[in-house]
Amino acid sequence: MSKRVVVDPITRIEGHLRVEVEVDENNVITKAWSGSTLWRGIETILKGRSPMDAGLLVQRICGVCTYSHYRCSIEAVEDALDLKIPENAKLLRSLMQSSLYMHDHVVHFYHLHALDWVDIVSALSADPAKAAQVAMKYSATPIAAGEGELRAVQERVQGLVNTGKLGPFANAYWGNGTYKFSPEQNLIAVSHYLKALEVQRKAAEMLAIFGGKQPHPQSLVVGGVSCVRDMLSPARLQEWKQKHAEVNDFINRAYLPDVLMAAEAYKEEPSVLGGVGVKNFMAAEDFYLGNGEYLFQPGVIMNGDLSDVQDVDLTLIEEDVTHSWYQDGAARHPYDGVTEPNYTGLIERDTVYGKLPTFDNDGKYSWVKSPRYAGEPVEVGPLSSLLVAYARGNKQVVGAVNGLLEATGLPVEALFTTLGRTASRLVQTMLVAENSLKTFDALVSNILVDESTYIEPVIDPNKEYKGVGVIEAPRGLLSHWIRIKGGKIENYQAVVPTTWNSGPVDANGKVGPFEQSLVGMKLEDPTKPLEIIRVIHSFDPCMACAVHVMDYKGQDLGQFQVAPNAC
Amino acid sequence: MGQYDALFSRGKKRLSELKKLNAVKSTPLMQRLESQGISRREFMTWSAQVTAMLSLPLSFSPLVAEAAEVADRVPLIWLHMAECTGCSESLIRCDTPSIDSVLFDHISVEYHETLMAAAGWQAEENLEHALEAYKGGYVLAVEGAIPTADNGHYLTVGCKGHTGTEIIHHAAEGAAAIVSVGTCAAFGGVQAAAPNPTEAKGVDQVVHKPVVNLGGCPPSEKNIVGTLMYFVMFGKLPPMDMYGRPKWAYGARVHDNCERRGRFDAGEFVEKFGDKGAKEGYCLYKVGCKGPYTYNNCPTERFNHHTSWPVLAGHGCIGCSEPNFWDAMADFEKPLGRRDIHSLDKTADFIGTAILGLSVVGLGAHAVAGVFAKDVEDK
């Protein structure tokens, strides 16, 4: 007899996500549904506004990958206006992009994902002296893993436990049998969790140097960047480089060793050996290094065939709404997206926690739409980016991926797992951190011959424009699509990484990456589904990003047009 | 100093009440800080910085230090509504050498979806437990607006499928204080911009209880933590302006403390991004700065451990801590011209003249700001 498991809220993500699964009598997942439970209507709000304001507004889609939407939107407008921005602006945007990645991936691994792998309670029974020895196994010079430091961390955790009041660590799935670290390994990871709180702050400052603040930086404009004084200040440039060195040090001496440690401890854990069900992957070109060169290449891989990487054909992207809380209609290309909300509610049924409202999975069950490429679901994210570059023979990527496989003794197939997805994020972070120094050097050389940062855009109110920005966000390929008419935004759409990954089943019954990744996995205890959140977290969900709606069909836009001098 | 004396004794009284409660942490704060490599001196410097940030006389510094030691007795419940998590991200950037450790050890975070280890059913149990166990004593922080259209079903949270409106009503009931963190919770924010398809509202429009509104998209980490500290110290909400924003943080116009103010007074303006004036640090009014219409401490406190703020990065202020700014202050890269944003705010009238470079206008603006402050004294 099958049982229904509901997980809501999925915590340690951005936004509101509900996952439901059905398990059989052996607690093996037979079906899974993922749905977002919040709709904000950002793209509806964009209509009638100035294209110059779009970047600032759509940035508020997300406060985590905040810079990604900002940049992607500005570049969509630049594409529409056919604007070629100065080299300095390209390089500065790339430096900000690298800074975001160094921040975002570290926060994801330690503060959002780590507690799925690390049992804090178990760290209490560790021997700090032994743990310090264990740390040396994964790094010759580990950070925050000396005996004294580890003992202090352990005492701190013990102090918390003694109070009987665990605060943010209360009532988690501690003691679950799928936690595989030894007490010593857990203690090392807890120490790095705390250290990472400090490091992530520095990483955020890196972006703020050229971005004004983080989250929600404010120094990009259509036509370039505004931070010309920061660019021309040797002190500012060095400030970035100094912080880069500190964060990079943590990445190499904590993040890398911790992933190696996880790969070793978890390499036979069934719940992390699957998790890549949809074997189609797509990635964008990104991370400008200067001189026309990029760190990662774009492409599409279908059916896991690494011998055949195709170029991305943007005309093949469509969004389906069959099982999303919008009025039905045929799948549409983003330039022509039409959507009206149509909430149909939850339905009551028996679950492992008793009677609860649950997804109407035969009907509609999510505010996320289902993007498809040539009719197929596709996974995007660091794993996809690396696979595409790897299959294209990118020397750095091939070297780094092979190096990781060698260090862990894992076969290539290990990439196509939950563990592989998490490890790919580390490899991407390391490559980005290392290569951003090339971008930095290119900027320093270029300033000597050219100080320009901006080219003024011109919008002809009598012309119609359309444009697209396609970049790689920390969670994968991101595209923003804009139509401009009469100098104002006529239509705007964002097709977002988490939309690709988390969308519900489509009209043809094709299942997306989140849902497919859970099927076949056995749960130790369906009332404490640690395995589910571990797999879902490996995608790094960002739900406010994923939910977006454009157009009220036929609605008179005049009634809410923004007229700047009307007040 | 009379008013400060009263405030100081109120703070003292509050702290002694807090101390009577059972301590959450077994080891004293200083011992815990020392184990983190933080010296007494560093801790006192931190207290002094927080004191200055709260616009209090330095004599309050020991009170702040004392407050930090008992702060763990105040449970914090943080709810996510219609939002982007930017405010939580801002919170975890808390600066000065030890603030993340201080927060980690001293405020008891009972519920926070981005940080907590528990998920799903177990997370909801934590919330229910905290609402019951700390009834009347917890601080409720809310991030995000409340969607109210169509029975609020544009947002549901938790296995039981409760709407955002149901959750907020329930949680507000037993709160000792409610803090709307960020422009979305305070004023509806981006989802409430025209045409506001979900009828998103600020928390104080939904719960009808006193609420502190921390405007800003996001508010700086200092404004978030400073406000929590105020409650811990004095056991009440801070004096607020007409929009419910703490005066210590939002009492002055961005324009009045701006590092480019001298350029404004001298009539030196950036005409377009990247021009000579941009390289020289001229005033950004003509490329759209909304600093003259915006109340916040960005120029003095900045963001990310004092690293920068938008105007330093060459982009005008967009007015993100003001109600309805997405509509009222667009276009963001064009000057607003002669407009009244607030009914009390006549300063905008001076702007046109100010462009001519008359420094006397600056004085006018300060005078108006003074009147403004008087009108909305702490009740």
Task: Tell me the residues of chain B between 13 and 32 that have a Cβ less than 8 Å away from chain A.
Answer: 24-27, 32
Give B108-163 pLDDT, tens digit per residue.
889 999 999 999 999 999 999 999 999 998 999 999 999 999 999 999 999 999 99
| Best residue of A61, A197, A226 to probe chain B, by most B CBs closer than 10 Å | A226
Give A463-485 pLDDT, tens digit per residue.
999 999 999 999 999 999 999 99
Minimal CA–CA distance to B110: which of B56, B168, B171, B166? B171
B288 token code pair: 């759209």
DSSP state at residue A296? E
CA of residue B332 relative to chain centroid, distance = 22
pLDDT over 60 (residue B345): no
Inter-chain CB proximity B32 and A159 less than 8 Å: yes
The DSSP secondary structure of B210-257, one letter per residue, reads -EEEE-SSSPPHHHHHHHHHHHHHHSSPPPB-TTS-BHHHHSSBGGGG
A258 close to A138: Cβ distance less than 8 angstroms: yes
Predicted local distance difference test score (pLDDT) of residue B369: 33
Task: Tell me the residues of chain A between 271 and 330 that have a Cβ less than 8 Å away from chain B.
Answer: none
Q: How far apart are CA B357 and CA B375, in angstroms?
A: 29
Q: Which residues 6+ apart lie within 8 Å of B276 measured at CB?
A: none
Among candidates B80, B120, B193 on the partner chain, residue whose Cβ is nearest the Cβ of A45:
B193
Predicted local distance difference test score (pLDDT) of residue B324: 95
B221 close to B100: Cβ distance less than 8 angstroms: no
| Position B352 confidence tier, pLDDT thresholds 50, 70, 90 | very low
Taking CA A527 as the corner, what is the angle to CA A521 and CA A528, rounded to the nearest 5 degrees? 70
Predicted local distance difference test score (pLDDT) of residue B285: 96
* Nearest chain A CA: its distance from B209 CA (Å): 25
Beta bridge partners of B214: B181
Rounded to whole angstroms, what are the CA distances from A27 to A5, A8, A357? 10, 19, 21
Predicted local distance difference test score (pLDDT) of residue A339: 67
Task: Tell me the residues of chain A between 240 and 259 that have a Cβ less than 8 Å away from chain B.
Answer: none
Catalogue the E-assigned strands of A448-567.
464-473, 476-485, 488-495
3-class state of residue A20 by DSSP? strand
Specify the range with the lowest mean pLDDT, choosing from A139-148, B52-61, B331-340: B52-61
Q: How many pairs of residues across A and B have Cβ atoms under 8 Å apart?
A: 323
Q: How many distinct helices (H) and strands (E) make up chain A?
A: 18, 16
pLDDT along chain A (567 residues), means of 10: 95 96 98 96 92 97 95 98 98 98 97 96 96 98 97 88 79 95 98 94 97 98 98 98 98 98 96 94 98 97 96 97 92 82 95 97 96 98 98 98 95 94 98 98 98 97 98 97 96 94 97 98 97 97 77 35 35
Predicted local distance difference test score (pLDDT) of residue B21: 52
- Which stretches of B107-218 are DSSP H helices? 120-133, 164-173, 183-187, 204-207
Q: Tell whether A121 lies on the interface with B, counting CB pairs under 8 A.
A: no
| Position B17 confidence tier, pLDDT thresholds 50, 70, 90 | low
The rounded percent of chain B whose pLDDT value lies above 90 is 59
pLDDT over 90 (residue B52): no
Q: How many CA atoms lie within 13 A of B156 on its CB side?
A: 24
Predicted local distance difference test score (pLDDT) of residue B19: 63
A484 token code pair: 């401009």
Residue A32, H or E segment:
strand A29-36
Beta bridge partners of B178: B140, B211
Inter-chain CB proximity A226 and B82 less than 8 Å: no
A321 token code pair: 């709404």
Q: How many CA atoms lie within 13 A of A470 on its CB side?
A: 17
* Nearest chain A CA: its distance from B312 CA (Å): 7
Rounded to whole angstroms, what are the CA distances from A522 to A118, A267, A529, B272? 20, 16, 10, 60
Instruction: Please tell me which residue, A271 or B49, carries the higher pLDDT value.
Output: A271
Among candidates A171, A212, A345 on the partner chain, residue whose Cβ is nearest the Cβ of B126:
A171
Q: ipTM value of the model?
A: 0.94
Taking CA B2 as the corner, what is the angle to CA B1 and CA B5, rounded to the nearest 5 degrees? 85
Inter-chain CB proximity A343 and B304 less than 8 Å: no
Inter-chain CB proximity B330 and A221 less than 8 Å: no
Among candidates A115, A212, A454 on the partner chain, residue whose Cβ is nearest the Cβ of B310:
A212
Tell whether pTM > 0.80. yes
- Which stretches of A81-127 are DSSP H helices? 87-107
Section B182-192 average pLDDT: 98
Is the omega angle on the peptide bond into residue B197 within 30 degrees of 0, that is, cis?
A: no
A118 contacts in chain B (CB < 8 Å): none
A343 close to A35: Cβ distance less than 8 angstroms: no
The rounded percent of chain B whose pLDDT value lies above 70 is 75
B81 token code pair: 């509504």
Length of chain A: 567
Burial B77-94 (b: 16+ CB within 10 A, else e): bbbbbbbbbbbbbbbbbb
* Nearest chain B CA: its distance from A12 CA (Å): 4
A47 close to A557: Cβ distance less than 8 angstroms: yes
Q: Which amino acid is at A545?
A: C
A223 contacts in chain B (CB < 8 Å): 273
Q: How far apart are CA A535 and CA B155, in angstroms?
A: 24
Residue A220, H or E segment:
strand A220-221
Minimal CA–CA distance to A474: which of A542, A400, A549? A542
DSSP state at residue B322? S
Q: How far apart are CA A229 and CA A232, in angstroms?
A: 5
Q: How far apart are CA B120 and CA B126, in angstroms?
A: 10
Q: Tell whether B310 lies on the interface with A, counting CB pairs under 8 A.
A: yes
Specify the range with the lowest mean pLDDT, choosing from A103-117, B239-253, B324-338: B324-338
Predicted local distance difference test score (pLDDT) of residue B150: 94
Length of chain B: 379
Taking CA A165 as the corner, what is the angle to CA A119 and CA B210, rounded to the nearest 5 degrees? 120
Inter-chain CB proximity B313 and A212 less than 8 Å: yes
Q: Tell whether A357 lies on the interface with B, counting CB pairs under 8 A.
A: yes
B338 token code pair: 């002669």
B181 token code pair: 């963190």
β A286-290/A293-296 pair status: antiparallel
Q: How many CA atoms lie within 13 A of B219 on its CB side?
A: 34
Predicted local distance difference test score (pLDDT) of residue A549: 46
3-class state of residue A293 by DSSP? strand
